[in-house]
Amino acid sequence: MANTKITNPELFNLGDSTSATQLPVMTTTERIAMNAPPTLNIDYLVVAGGGGGGLGGGGAGGYRTSFGTGNINGGNTPVENALTLATGSPGYTVTIGAGGAGIVGNGTQNQSDSGNNSVFSSITSTGGGGAGTGGASGSFNAGVNGGSGGGSHNNYTAGAAVTNPTQGFSGGIGTNATGGGGGGAGGAGNNNTTGGVGLDSLITGTSTPYAGGGGGYPSGAASYGGGAAGGAGTGSSAAANTGAGGGGGVNGGAGGSGVVILRYTTADVASYTATGLTPTEDTTTIPGQTILSFTTVGTGTITFTSSTPTNAISTGEMIFNSTTDKVEYWDGTKWYGITYEVAGNDGLTAATAFISYDEAVLNGTTNGLYYLNDGTRTRQYYFDLDGTENGTGTAGWTRIDSSIATPYLGQECTSSAAGITANGLITVQAQTTPLGGSSWGGCGTGFNSTYIKARKFALSNISSNSNPSYKTSYFAVYNSPTVLRSDWYGNQPGNGGVYYPGAYPFPVTSTDPWVLYNYTSNVTQPPANPTSLANSANAEYNGQVRYGMFSGTAYDLFDTQDRIIHIGQSTYPNTNATFSMKIWFKF
């Protein structure tokens, strides 16, 4: 689809004084946010399956909730935050954990089975711990850890409640021939008798208890929250969807299955789609609220559709992008610019290479490799499209890395000096025992005769393991047709001599001046509003520019030319320090 050409698109950025129709004005970041799906705030109760009874009572399933206020979450901890979920695909997982099976005949198996986890989205409640038995191994007498811990038998250790996050309490200890109660969401299991109490939830509008611990053998009573009673013969089983522990006995009772209950503002959701599990829906008990209760053991998904997505974008909608100073429109799947050029290049092939950095920011998708036609050559570069990598916080920069050309690396560089690498990290390190006649070393890297078209440079990821050497590292820029000598790294006058061979750039024509020279021992920053960097130099080296190295600074040379770069280091004896950084450019 062809784009309309407008010679002055900034005329669409109309002020408040005009009576004409005005376009919304926003940055690229704000425009991207418009495409984000609407979100939904949702409260939850997630209770895992309870542990089965052994001789001890089964531990209650983990209890996690965002609904209500105060310390009414599992383990009497503060309620958690409601979830903020995106509407639309993909859906969110819902799992209802089964209760654990009780023992069948004391001494015939290990501990009773723990309950199974229940899940909603990122919230997982841990199944209740199984209980200790009278099995052949003494360790079988111990309770099992879980959302709440299982009760033990014969003075062995009771099961503990999980932490991070806490979801319940530990089980009780059974002494001699008795079983300890299983832990509950609201209290620890009692020694020799009753399970720990559960907790009430008002998420459905009716106060309902969940997650009580199972009673121990032979006579532990039922606990608040559905914990099943223990018995001298067969312990009771906990009711479904309580997450409570099974009662202890010669034959232990089963733990209760878990439950997931969701609650949200009815007006926020047009519809939902549940697969695998079908919830019970309640929209009448609490006006304006929808409550979905999942009670069937198993796993499914639920997807929400927004009712009135306030940030929906209509096909053909237009904005003025203050980042690029361009009018842009939405075609239903992608933003296009109304610019001087024919827009629409995606940068994915040489034939569809970007022809400007504005086009790259407009049509690129994520930071990565794209082709750029700079008017002289077409080459693939790594682009920082969103401004998160180059240090300045501004969008649309390309990175210097070894894909541009094979870099040289000086003879006095150590094996740790990687030079210019594929991921853009440039590392120099001079030897402590150099090749030249001096004990002082030099190291450098760059391109001999491969140019990049650039007006601005930025530095990021600046790092050194030693301050003395950090203060003697260099970054130089020359204009075309400067060529850096392939033998620059020898012990020769002009590039550091016997002191720092290879540290400084060594052009074939020694009179070629640099246009930008940064070194770490200089604290001078470019002025805020210079007309050119050359005119604002700090009077060193006949007016040529020397500035410090700063991440977050855009070094603007005020014209676009083919340029070549060099990075070097001079070092004092025995410092052996490593200096590294990344270099970005644009025009």
**Is the pLDDT confidence value at 334 over 60?**
yes
Angle at Cα 529 formed by Cα 523 and Cα 530, nearest 5°? 75
Q: Which residues pair with 85 in a beta bridge?
A: 40
Q: Write out pLDDT tens, residues 393-447.
A: 999 999 999 999 888 887 778 888 888 999 999 998 877 666 655 566 778 888 8
Buried b (16+ CB within 10 A) or exposed e, 519-554: bbeeeeebeeeeeebeeebeeeeeeebbbebbeebb
**Is the pLDDT confidence value at 362 over 50?**
yes
Token pair belonging to 15: 């002020």
At residue 388, the pLDDT reads: 93
Count CB neighbours of 122 within 10 A: 9
User: For the chain, what is the radius of gyration of the CA atoms?
Assistant: 35
Q: Write out pLDDT tens, residues 186-210.
A: 999 999 999 999 999 999 999 999 9
Cα–Cα distance, 129 to 147 (Å, whole number): 7
Bridge-based pairing state of the strands 378-384 and 419-420: unpaired
- Band of pLDDT at residue 23, cut at 50, 70 and 90: confident
At residue 418, the pLDDT reads: 86
Cα–Cα distance, 336 to 344 (Å, whole number): 7
Q: Write out pLDDT tens, residues 551-561.
A: 888 888 878 99
- Mean pLDDT over 154-178 rounds to 94
> Which range has the worst mean pLDDT, 112-121, 170-179, 471-480?
471-480
Q: Is 263 helix (H, G, I), strand (E, B) or coil?
A: strand
In total, the chain counts a number of residues equal to 587
- Mean pLDDT over 138-158 rounds to 92
- Band of pLDDT at residue 545, cut at 50, 70 and 90: low
Q: Which residues contact 415 (CB under 8 A, 6 or more apart)?
A: none
**What average pLDDT does the structure give for the chain?**
83
Angle at Cα 350 formed by Cα 349 and Cα 356, nearest 5°? 100
Q: Which residues contact 172 (CB under 8 A, 6 or more apart)?
A: 56, 57, 151, 152, 158, 180, 181, 182, 183, 188, 189, 190, 191, 192, 193, 195, 196, 213, 216
At residue 534, the pLDDT reads: 45
At residue 7, the pLDDT reads: 37
Token pair belonging to 569: 């280091």
**Is the pLDDT confidence value at 2 over 60?**
no
Count CB neighbours of 275 within 10 A: 11
| End-to-end Cα, the chain, rounded Å | 27
Judge if pTM exceeds 0.75: no
**Sign of the torsion formed by the C-alpha atoms of 497, 502, 507 and 511:** negative
Q: Write out pLDDT tens, residues 237-275.
A: 999 999 999 999 999 999 999 999 999 999 888 889 999
HSE at residue 584, side-chain half, CA atoms within 13 A, is 28
Closest CA to 559 of 505, 499, 480: 480
At residue 408, the pLDDT reads: 83
Cα–Cα distance, 169 to 196 (Å, whole number): 8
Angle at Cα 44 formed by Cα 43 and Cα 45, nearest 5°? 145
* SS3 of 388-409: CCCCCCCCCEEECCCCCCCCEE
At residue 248, the pLDDT reads: 96
Q: Write out pLDDT tens, residues 513-534.
A: 667 766 666 666 665 555 444 4
Cα–Cα distance, 375 to 380 (Å, whole number): 14
